[in-house]
Amino acid sequence: MNSKITCRNLSVAFSGENSRTRSVLDNINVTFPAGKMNIITGPIGAGKSTLLHTMAGLTRPTSGEVVVNDQAVSRWSGAHRDQWRRQAGIIFQHCHLLHELTVLENIMLPLIPLGHTVSHCRSQSIAALKQVALFHHAGRLANSLSGGERQKTAIARALVTQPHFIFADEPTAHMDAENSRQMMELLYHCTGRNAVVIVATHESILNRLPGPALCYRLENGALNHLTD
Amino acid sequence: MFNTLQIWAFRDILRRPFESLLLAVTLTFAIATVGTLLLFPRAVYDTLTVVLKATPSIILRQVDPTGWRPLPIRESVQAATSVIGVVSVRPRIWGMVNGPDGPLTVMGVQQEGLPEILADPLTRLPAKGQAIVGWGIASHDPAGTLPLEGAIRQTYQVIHRLPEQTSMFTHDLVLLNPLDAQQLIGLPQGYASDLAIDVFHEDEQDAILSDLTAAFPWPVRCVTRRQSAGIYAGGFNRGRALGAITMIPAVLAMCLLVAVNTRKSMGRQSDLGIMKAMGWTTGDIIRLHLYRDLFVCLPSVALGSCLCFFLVYGPGADGLAGFFLGWDTLPPRLYLETKGAVTVLLEVAGVMVAPVMASALLPALKAATADVHELIEGAGRR
Amino acid sequence: MFWHPLLLAIISAQIVALLLLLAGSLTSLNTALHWQPLSADSRQLSLEARAEGVSIQGRAAFWLSVFSAVLLVFGITNIFAEDIPGAMCGTGVCQAMSPRGSTQLLLYTGLLLLLMQLWHEMDKLNRMLVEMPLTDITARLFLVIPAVAVLTLKQTYASFAGIRPHQPVDCCAVVYDQFTTLKHAKSILGLGDAFWISAFIVLSLALFSLSVALRTSMVDRPGIRGLHAIISCLWLPVASLTLVNIFSAYHYEVLHHHCPWCLFLPEHRLVGYPLYGALYVIGMEGFTLFMLPRLANQDITVYKKALDRCRRAANRITFAQLLFLIIAILPAIVWRLHYGVWMSG
């Protein structure tokens, strides 16, 4: 499968105080190809997370469309949008683990509604945990983990279904250099199976990338292509 | 046996055992309370229906401008039997007198024309000066005598007590020899209180009334079994409806309390947002909530229903009869018919279970249209 | 005024459904006026989001309306009669409401269900496709429904408020007053039983054949759908009349007791529910089968889906018709085999 994601005239604005709207993304036109690492950088508050969330179907654009394989997925109705999200693996900046669940249960979460047996979900989740070297923490509650461990759990949760589209928002923010490199390698590994991988991160990481990437900079609502 | 989602739902309950237990206990007691309030009048009505089925098709009384008056037995029986369709005519001697604890119903009985309800429990009939009393009448005298006051004051020897399960209407009944009864009530010799008439076919009750009225040379008033049933039913159901109206705010308030308390921790919108972001569809989330609440609600419904059944039909009936009807003595035995039980179950389901289930599904339905990002924002602030 | 806990449940369900419909009306009006599917501007995207909400509200209102209608029928046929002196079945309840009031109530309820069913089918079809191509048509249809819902609620209240619980009715007199002579009793609208039986057989065969043809046909047949609609329109009243005037005698085991409501009573094994249920399914599905492709002909993909739904509707009509025929006619056949003659001689 050779997929790509295209943003067509994409704008997102939020209503702020005194019912004034604040434009976050302004008329963005870009295509993210499959099989390559796509890196989006930009200052804090530039709208990197919003762009990822909009592409992943977590929020609706104010105008414009997100097109996947010639389908405007951002305009799909509820049930279809739910199906679109199933194809996407999302890593949140704040991890968003379910704190009352164990690490293993958090990773099992995307597999539960897919109709597999519990043992299948369990074995697949354990495999994902081993990939991020957290197997020994499987039975711990998510709220007892450190920041880096939480991020690793969130990465394992996003990759457990082997999605075609991966949206990672600051996936290594709380990790040391070694762990950060390992996790980026894991994401690079996904490009090998022709997935669309889009990572929002700080510019400082660009020098430490383990492979080639398409880099973009988001600033003042506009997305500019930096370099390959 | 169980699919993955059901197992996940059960695991979810175990994650918050105290909250689930609180919901289950509250719901059980709520169902028991509401069920009792709905079931008790229904049980009285069903009992009434059962009893009315054993009563004569038509009750005929002589009336004048001052009210009802005694009927001359011979002429009345003659007039009634002349009507085509009348199968049997039974003059009845009965009336209200004062007993030691309040008013009682006195009835004169003889072997001929004994009502069906009394035919089985009566082993012998009262002779002159003797009385057979209903289950609810207490005799204060250790010698077993019962003083009664009507047209005359007289004390009778109690020779037998009707068994508890005889009928609701024999509860405060005193059976006397017909002559004793006539004297006590003040009926002249050869007169009866009313006539119990049976007709050939159930549907003829209404049709025969005009012929029956015309057959008597004095004004009479007839009440059919169907009319009695209708009048009582109307009263009971209006009472039930008014009871339901007064009950609804209380029930809703409690449901809201339960819903708010439960949803505060169980139905966090941010959790739903995360689940949706992880590929759960609205349908999956609704199913999860449905399973989770069914696992709690179904045992509560079963337990609550058993509890209200126990309160109405079991030993709890004593207190209930005293509370609702002011019966100080032992309450009569109540009946329940399948239709009545199903109606009450439907009403309990409508009033109690549906709001609780709706409160469980509401967050999921809300999540159906909301932006996942907006749902998750709460978690970000956590 | 007549009070019963079940009536409370019916009116509550109707009020909640009406509130949901009213809440969705404003968005539907905006959708009907400003829907621009080719544009991706902010107004259109906002309308798309709100239209989804209306769809959920409408579905909730639909199921609440179905629920209240089922409760209404259950109440009229099996529950309310016990509170009205002289009433033995729904006829007595309707008589207590006043014949006009009860007819209006049933008509409004039927019309509301018909419109909501059509809207529900359109909405389902719309949601099947990612582009939601029928949103503007469903919005227009949605705008009609609250008016009927208001009338239904008003009529429900008026009909039951008109009942005087202490005033007796004469249930059977209503049924038997329909005719004065035996000859009159043996005819419907001046035509004899033989005519109606023949009409019923011919129309049943026609409806069955057309339904099977539509169910099995792989190509679009608008002509057959039109013919099917006409035959359905004829079959429904003929089937109802023959059921009440001819076949019911074998259920009641009494001649000329032309009561449509007694069939719902437990003493007649509640056959009214499957029999009238089958008529309801045939009516609703027939209406859907005729209307859906006409309303969904803007887009070829949605039209194909509508045709698939029509095939399912034809399938349901076939099964409902078979169910009706079996339940309605079987007692007559059993009677004939047992006694060697038809009841009417």
Half-sphere exposure for B352 (CA within 13 Å, toward CB): 29
Do the chains contact at B282 and A100, CB–CB below 8 Å?
no
- CB-based contact (8 Å) between C79 and chain B? yes
Task: State residue B169's pLDDT score.
Answer: 65
Residue C344 lies in a domain: no
- CB-based contact (8 Å) between C93 and chain B? no
Of B270, B278, B357, which is closest to residue B31 (Cα–Cα)? B357
Task: State residue A25's pLDDT score.
Answer: 93
Q: Are residues C145 and C184 part of one domain?
A: no
Residue B211 lies in a domain: no
Q: Are residues C195 and C294 part of one domain?
A: yes
Tokens of C113: 């269900």
Task: State residue C174's pLDDT score.
Answer: 65
Q: Are residues B274 and B338 part of one domain?
A: yes
Residue C345 lies in a domain: no
Cα separation, B205 vs B58, in Å, equals 7
Q: Are residues B74 and B46 part of one domain?
A: no
Residue B223 lies in a domain: no
Q: Which of B229, B241, B339 sits opposite C8 (nearest CB)?
A: B241
Residue C308 lies in a domain: yes
What does the pLDDT look like over C23-65, one tens digit per residue?
999 999 999 999 998 888 889 988 998 898 899 889 989 999 9
Tokens of A38: 């796509």
Q: Which of C45, C130, C132 sits opposite A60 (nearest CB)?
A: C45
**Residue located via tokens 């449940």:** C9
Q: Are residues C332 and C245 part of one domain?
A: yes
The whole domain housing C50 covers 5-172
Q: Are B288 and B367 in contact (CB under 8 A)?
A: no
Q: Are residues C125 and C103 part of one domain?
A: yes
Interface test with A, best of C130, C134, C135 (most A CBs within 10 A): C130
Residue B209 lies in a domain: no
Task: State residue C72's pLDDT score.
Answer: 94
Do the chains contact at C5 and B38, CB–CB below 8 Å?
yes
More confident residue, C134 or B124: C134
Residue B213 lies in a domain: no
Q: Are residues C200 and C118 part of one domain?
A: no
More confident residue, C310 or B227: C310
Does the structure show a pLDDT above 80 at B253?
Answer: no
What does the pLDDT look like over B292-348, one tens digit per residue?
888 988 898 889 888 888 877 776 666 666 666 566 555 556 767 777 777 777 777
Cα separation, B264 vs A128, in Å, equals 32
Q: Is the dihedral of CA C40, C43, C49, C51 positive or negative?
A: negative
Residue C329 lies in a domain: yes
What does the pLDDT look like over A2-16, one tens digit per residue?
688 999 999 999 877
Q: Are residues B79 and B188 part of one domain?
A: yes
What are the chain B neighbours of C172 within 8 Å (beta carbons)?
A: 203
Phi/psi for B70 (5° steps) reads -65, 155
Q: Are residues B65 and B44 part of one domain?
A: no
Cα separation, B52 vs B50, in Å, equals 6
- CB-based contact (8 Å) between B165 and chain C? no
Q: Which of B181, B201, B221 is the last residue of a domain?
A: B201
DSSP state, residue A141:
B
Q: Are residues C182 and C163 part of one domain?
A: no
Q: Are A210 and A188 in contact (CB under 8 A)?
A: yes
Residue C241 lies in a domain: yes
Q: Report chain C residues touching chain A, CB-CB < 8 A.
A: 40-42, 45, 48-49, 52, 55, 127, 130-132
**In 10 A of CB C56, how many CB atoms?**
18
Structurally, how many domains does chain B consist of?
2
Cα separation, B351 vs C8, in Å, equals 11
User: Helices marked H in B85-172 — which ranges?
Assistant: 116-119
Task: State residue C170's pLDDT score.
Answer: 77
Q: Are residues C70 and C24 part of one domain?
A: yes
Counted across chains A and B, CB pairs separated by less than 8 A come out at: 80
Q: Are residues C186 and C296 part of one domain?
A: yes
Cα separation, A55 vs A68, in Å, equals 9
Q: Are residues B297 and B180 part of one domain?
A: no
Q: Are residues B240 and B376 part of one domain?
A: yes
At residue B235 the predicted structure's pLDDT band, cuts being 50, 70 and 90, is low
* Angle at which helices C222-242 and C272-295 cross, to 10°: 160
Residues linked to residue B67 through DSSP beta bridges, in sequence order? B64
Residue of B nearest to C87 (CA): B230
Do the chains contact at C56 and B368, CB–CB below 8 Å?
yes
Q: Are residues C110 and C221 part of one domain?
A: no
Give the least confident one: A129-133, C78-82, C157-161.
Answer: C78-82
- In this prediction, what percent of chain C has a pLDDT beyond 70? 95
Tokens of C233: 């329109």
Of B231, B196, B251, which is closest to residue B81 (Cα–Cα)? B196
Residue of B nearest to C1 (CA): B238
Structurally, how many domains does chain C consist of?
2
Secondary structure E strands in B37-128: 58-64, 67-69, 71-72, 86-99, 102-108
Burial class (CB in 10 A: 0-12, 13-18, 19+), B95: buried
The whole domain housing B263 covers 4-51+233-381
At residue C308 the predicted structure's pLDDT band, cuts being 50, 70 and 90, is very high
Q: Are C94 and C102 in contact (CB under 8 A)?
A: yes
Do the chains contact at C79 and B368, CB–CB below 8 Å?
no
ipTM over 0.90 threshold: yes
Of C161, C155, C149, which is closest to residue C102 (Cα–Cα)? C155
